[in-house]
Amino acid sequence: MKELAEERGAATKLPHRRQFLHLFAGAAALPTTSQIARAQAYPTRPVHLIVGTPPGLAPDILARLVGQSLSEALGQQFVVDNRPGAGTNIATEAVVRAAPDGYTLLLSNPANAINATLYQNLNFNFIRDTAPVALIGSGEFVMVINPSMPAKTIPEFITYAKANPGKINMASNGNGTTPHVFGELFKMMAGVEMIHVPYRSSYVPDLLSGQVQVAFSSVSASSEYVRTGKLRGLAVTTAKRSAMFPDIPAMTEFLPGYEASSWYGISAPRNTSTAIVEKLNKEINAGLAASKLNARLVELGVSPLPCLPEDFGKLIGDETEKWAKVVKFADVKPE
């Protein structure tokens, strides 16, 4: 009788234990289910896309193009919010401090990779504090010189520069900017000296007049000057020749391993749900594949580069490591 009672007692406990395990499993699945549900509904209100430059510059134009594509695809406005200053650090910090809910995004670019070493006391770590969402594309640059210079090729320029150390002025948009570090990478790899002349406004008038002799400029901004002979293009900075300048060699043809391009992408605050990141990545990649956005980017000298978030994250890591070496070698300081 005692054994029978014990068996009955065990039998009555078993359903309760099964019920508990079932409830526990259901509770454990709730966060994932909730994330998926939020991602499916996302976005339910306007999304802010923060840009670290003033309106009208290349990053702003790209942000508006991608924002419009996302607005059409997802049915909510993607509002471009320009927050220039401190070499894009103001914009980046605004995104780092935002809620990780997908409603505050950043148009990221090489400045984020460069600034990690250029600025010693940042209140954030870009790689640690952001989530890579999608790569938009890369912009081609070209090394241009004033036609009064005797060099017509990269080897001739290097020979001239070594024979005239410190007599060539290299213009840029400011210390630590993309054109500046592209030039410093050239100096480092070619073993030449040039005087860096940072400008707060456009350096083009001085480059055209010959007051400064060389600059690393975007292909889109330089194309008309090169075609009309007002500037001489010596080499594009990408690994391959540019479709816009097929007759101008790639720098790597003379300096193996040299490669520099201005990439653009979308980043989100750290801990943004994987489901939302993947949804944005999917829609951005679809937009890049569509003829409308694709053609507009190509017109601006940007090669669309759809990829997965982890691939974009690897690019950011590689670029941060690469430019850290250049910034340290050239002892570049922020303005």
Write phi, then psi, for 333 (nearest 5 degrees).
-120, 145
Which residue carries 């410190």 as its tokens? 166
**Is residue 255 pLDDT above 70, yes or no?**
yes
CA distances from 4 to 7, 9, 105, 181, 231 (A): 5, 9, 66, 84, 100
Number of other residues whose CB lies within 10 A of the CB of residue 123: 11
pLDDT tier at 99, thresholds 50, 70, 90: very high
Coil, helix or strand at residue 135? strand
pLDDT tier at 192, thresholds 50, 70, 90: very high
Coil, helix or strand at residue 50? strand
The dotted CATH code for 47-138+262-330 is 3.40.190.150
Instruction: Say yes or no: do domains 47-138+262-330 and 141-253 share a fold.
Output: yes
Residue 268, Ramachandran bin (φ over 0: left; ψ between -120 and 50: alpha; else beta): beta
| pLDDT, mean of residues 314-333 | 97
Which CATH architecture group holds 141-253?
3-Layer(aba) Sandwich (3.40)
Q: Return the structure tokens found at 146.
A: 């004033």
**Is residue 7 pLDDT above 50, yes or no?**
no
Q: Kindly give the interhelix angle for 309-330 and 178-190, rounded to the nearest 10 degrees.
A: 60
Element (H, E) at 269: strand 262-269
**Is residue 90 pLDDT above 50, yes or no?**
yes
- pLDDT of res. 299: 87
Burial class (CB in 10 A: 0-12, 13-18, 19+), 41: exposed
Domain boundaries, the chain: 47-138+262-330, 141-253
Cis peptide before 132 (omega within 30 of 0): no
Burial class (CB in 10 A: 0-12, 13-18, 19+), 233: buried
pLDDT tens digit sequence for 105-158: 999 999 999 999 999 999 999 999 999 999 999 999 999 999 999 999 999 999
Q: Which of 335, 333, 316, 332 is nearest to 185 (CA)?
A: 332
pLDDT tens digit sequence for 124-136: 999 999 999 999 9
Whole-structure pTM value: 0.86
